[in-house]
Structure 1
Amino acid sequence: MNLKKSIRFLVAKSVGQYINLLHFVHPKKAVHLSYALFTNPRVGKIQKENLPAILQNTVKETFQHNEHYFQTYTWEGNETKILLVHGWESNSARWEKTLPYLQKSGSTIIAIDAPAHGQSSGKEFNVPRYAEFINKAVKKYNPSIIIGHSIGGSACIYHQYLHPETSIEKMIILGAPSDLKTLLDNYIQMLSLNRKMFRLLEKRYLENFNFKLDNFSGEAFAQHIKIDGIIAHDTTDSVVSYQEGQKIANGWKKGKFITTNDLGHSMHDDNLYQEIYRFLFEAKK
């Protein structure tokens, strides 16, 4: 274990120990803190005056959604439209390495900033709200293709489950987790929180979103997806386990599962992008 990993490990365990002790004195505060740590991204925000170069020469639009707003960036092209949905602690600039492959098709490409990421509002990230942002963008732009990375991929699956009758004809999912319960389990293990905290956090999700963690499953949602697509996952992904991608593929009957090696969680790879390009633009020629 290198020095940085050792420090992160010790910090996580110290925070977990504090939350466990706080639970005995102020259980509500302990739940609030642990929920905030689980849902509030530490990085990923960007300022308008300091945009990454890849986002500067785009058409920018801000959409209001209830008390929130979200940002989109468009690289203009032809009538074929692709919506890009990034993951946790990231923003629309993460697609910089992907764009050249997609732009070869001449397509119009739209990227969206997630809740509490990029230039979108809020401090809390959650998949249901992200799916709402996606739905508003889909209604506005009418993309035929949607591509999601990491938990952005989970949000795409959830959106497609909720809204199957849209303009979307093909979907690409890269390194996405299937089960929210698995993510929460990993978080609790990382901090060494006691099991009472899991039950309290589960209760918090039920109160906020009216669903049980066991029911929030990409594998289950994918069983209802009728469009074609690709699920790609790397065997060396240390952020989202390879088994999570397998779960989604098991549920999605029209989804093609692609296994990669040594790409990690980012999934940036020339061969993978070329295969995705062929699937999106050459498969039926």
Structure 2
Amino acid sequence: MSDKIYFNTSAKFSVKRSLLNLTTRLHHTVAPKHAKKTARKLLLTPVRSKPKNTEPEGLVKGKVDWPGGELKTYTLGCGPIWVLSHGWSGTASQFFPLMEHIAGRGYTALAYDHPAHGNSDGAYGHIPAFVRGLEAILDSFDEELAGLIAHSMGTASSLECRHRKVQQCPMILIAPVLDYLDNLFGSVARSGYSMRLFEEVVSEIEDQYHYPLQSIDPFKKLGLRESKTIIVHDEKDKFADFSVSVRADTEYKNVTLRATKGQGHGRVMTSQEVLDSFDSLMK
């Protein structure tokens, strides 16, 4: 259900949207505790997507413990480690073709399912959980990190992550959500959902994780990075604003944008531009 909210880009008037606004505001007024419980389930529960690609030969499955349970990991190849972080309602399987490419170049590709995604434990997904999960993955191996590749919401959480290993490594950001707060609040507002109720749910997450939502600013944190970052983004992406990637390419000297056409928000993950971006970083 949450995908229908977060991936809703229509700004046209809708009777259904008006009814949702009315019913959620009324629910919040009459039964506030139950309304917040329902909102958490609706707004923070990603779709458990089925695997998108066939498992490559030699794929090793594992797990990493974190306070929210187990994170399922998928490793391919040997050599310096590249970590791959998927987006909202995605799975590590979306990276399998790219992992084969990385392994074929003499590196280890380590992908994982975020909390409440794929085969990992957890009921709810959000940026603080994504960040904590990534920190647990980075703590699970002793080697330095060769690089990080992320998609969609995974890009926002990767840029938010303050772990030592990600500070100086190169990154490839695919269809990045660099204007995360505007994207999030805009999507919920367009859905018609009660913003007051949404903000109360957000407040609970902030208190639980000691993570102020207003501190989230992937665009700014991208500008603070000194290592090379390549953005691969489709010009007609309906869910992540391409113009923000253009602005990052213009304003930040260590950022390079590779634009695609006709790849959308998801197919771009297996585009030639992503493969070429990895190869260029290796050079």
Instruction: Note the aligned Cα RMSD (angstroms).
Output: 2.9
Match of residue 280 from structure 1: 281
Equivalent-residue separation in structure 1 for 2:101 and 2:167 (angstroms): 22
1: CA distance, partners of 2:199 / 2:115:
25
Which of 38, 46, 62 lines up with 2:43 in the alignment?
Answer: 38
Query: Which sections of structure 1, spanning at least 5 residues, go unmatched?
Result: none
Q: Is the 8 Å Cα contact of residues 172 and 278 (structure 2) preserved in structure 1?
A: no
Could you tell me how far apart the structure 1 residues matched to 2:129 and 2:194 are?
28
Q: Equivalent residues in 2 for 1:11-50 (5 A)?
A: 14-44=19-49
1:157 corresponds to which of 153, 156, 159:
159
Shift in CA distance, 23/249, structure 1 to aligned 2, threshold 3 Å = farther
Once the two structures are TM-superposed, the CA of residue 40 in structure 1 deviates from its matched residue by 0.8
8 Å CA contact 1:16–1:193 kept in 2: the answer is yes
Q: Relative contact order (C-alpha < 8 Å, sep 6+): which is higher?
A: 2
Q: Distance in 1 between matches of 2:190 and 2:38?
A: 15
Q: Which residue of 2 aligns with 1:146?
A: 148
Distance 1:223 1:193, change over 3 A: same
Say if 2:151 and 2:269, in contact at 8 Å, map to a contact too: no
Correspondence for 2:5: none
**Aligned counterpart, 2:82:** 82
Kept in 2: contact 1:97–1:268 (CA 8 A): no
Distance in 2, Cα, partners of 1:55 & 1:89:
21
Question: How far off is 1:158 after superposition?
Answer: 1.2
- The runs of 5 or more residues in structure 2 that have no matched partner are 1-7
Q: For 1:45 and 1:16, locate their aligned partners in 2 and report how far apart those are by CA, in whole Å.
A: 31
Counterpart contact for 2:189–2:195, Cα < 8 Å: no
TM-score by length of 1: 0.81
In the other structure, the counterpart of 2:220 is: 220
Q: For 2:251 and 2:203, locate their aligned partners in 1 and report how far apart those are by CA, in whole Å.
A: 27
Q: 1:160-195: CA deviations, max 9, x gaps?
A: xx1245586211111121233223323322321344
Q: In structure 2, the residue corresponding to 1:21 is in which secondary structure?
A: helix
Using the TM superposition, name which of 250-259 and 171-180 deviates more: 250-259
How far has the Cα of 1:255 moved from its partner?
A: 2.0
Q: Which amino acid aligns with 1:25?
A: V
Q: 1:13 to 1:174 in 2, by over 3 A?
A: farther
Identity of aligned residues (%): 19
Q: Deviations over 1:66-106 (max 9, x none)?
A: 242101111123x2221111111111111133234323312
State the SS of the aligned residue for 1:214.
helix
Query: Taking structure 1 as reference, are residues 20 and 56 closer, same or farther at Cα in structure 2, changes over 3 Å only?
Result: farther
CA contact (8 A) 1:178 1:219 kept: yes
In structure 2, relative to structure 1, the CA distance for the partners of 1:67 and 1:164 (3 Å cut) is closer
